[in-house]
Amino acid sequence: MLAILTVLMYLIVAPLEERELGQQYGREYETYRREVPRFLPRLRR
């Protein structure tokens, strides 16, 4: 139950944090966000 709640929390909090970071760092953060996955690393380029 705790694992499910934790995943749900991250699914809600991560987009809110990303919005705040986008406002704070602007275009640089948007570029970073496009290149780096949110939760799991990409295995291919």
Read off the tokens for 44: 């291919």
CA distances for 43 relative to 25, 29, 37, 40, angstroms = 27, 22, 11, 9
Write the pLDDT tens digit of every residue in 1-45: 999 999 999 999 999 999 999 999 999 999 999 999 988 888 876
Give the number of domains in the chain. Answer: 1
Query: In 3-state terms, what secondary structure has residue 26?
Result: coil
Rounded to a whole number of angstroms, the CA Rg of the chain reads 13
12 domain-assigned: yes
Q: What is the pLDDT of residue 2?
A: 96
pLDDT value of residue 32: 95
Task: Give a yes or no: residue 15 inside a domain.
Answer: yes
Query: Is residue 42 included in any domain, yes or no?
Result: no
Range of the domain at 7: 2-35
pLDDT score of 3: 96
**Model-level pTM?**
0.72
Predicted confidence at residue 13, as pLDDT, reads 96
pLDDT on residue 15:
95
